[in-house]
Amino acid sequence: MAEAIVVTDTVRVPAHALSVQAARASGPGGQNVNKVATKIDLRVDLDAIEGLSTEARARLATLARNRLDAGGRLRVTSQATRNQARNLEEARAKVRSLVAAALRPPTLARDASRAGRAARRRLATKKHRATIKRSRSRPGEAD
């Protein structure tokens, strides 16, 4: 049985919320691909994650909406390496980072501030130069 994934001191994914399956990986690897089941399919029951606030749980559901299976569980796969244990660790790291991302509240949009004095002066000079250059052209060529 898999062990719990600790995200922070208060948030963790208990072992009973995890289910791990191994399958044959696709891609290069020669005969190893045909013989050894190194791909890891890790599924996490989102409702069983401990220490998650309701806001963080909602953010996690939004972040993971494309990775949910029919039962509403988070599905993470890893087949990057030819080693099943490393793929399992990579899948667990993906879950850990996804839950950690859900813990951070979204940053608010920055309020637009007024342009500084130097910027206003630079733009005014630029407009003035454009007017001068426009006045040098023949009538009808300004467009």
pLDDT digits over 92-110, tens only? 899 999 989 988 888 888 8
Evaluate whether residue 133 is within a structural domain: no
**Number of domains the chain contains:** 1
Q: Is the pLDDT of residue 17 over 60?
A: yes
Instruction: State phi, psi for 29 to the nearest 5 degrees.
Output: 150, 0
Q: Is the pLDDT of residue 24 over 90?
A: no
Distance (Å, whole) CA 126 – CA 71 = 61
**What number is the average pLDDT over the span 6-17?**
85
Instruction: Give the domain extent around 39.
Output: 5-103
**What number is the average pLDDT over the span 20-41?**
79
Evaluate whether residue 108 is within a structural domain: no
Evaluate whether residue 12 is within a structural domain: yes
Evaluate whether residue 18 is within a structural domain: yes
Model pLDDT, residue 1: 55
Distance (Å, whole) CA 123 – CA 132 = 14
Q: Dig out the tokens for 66 from the structure.
A: 């494309």
What is the residue-averaged pLDDT of the chain? 86
Evaluate whether residue 63 is within a structural domain: yes
Evaluate whether residue 52 is within a structural domain: yes
CATH number at residue 10: 3.30.160.20
Evaluate whether residue 129 is within a structural domain: no
Evaluate whether residue 141 is within a structural domain: no
**What number is the average pLDDT over the span 58-83?**
87
Distance (Å, whole) CA 71 – CA 52 = 20
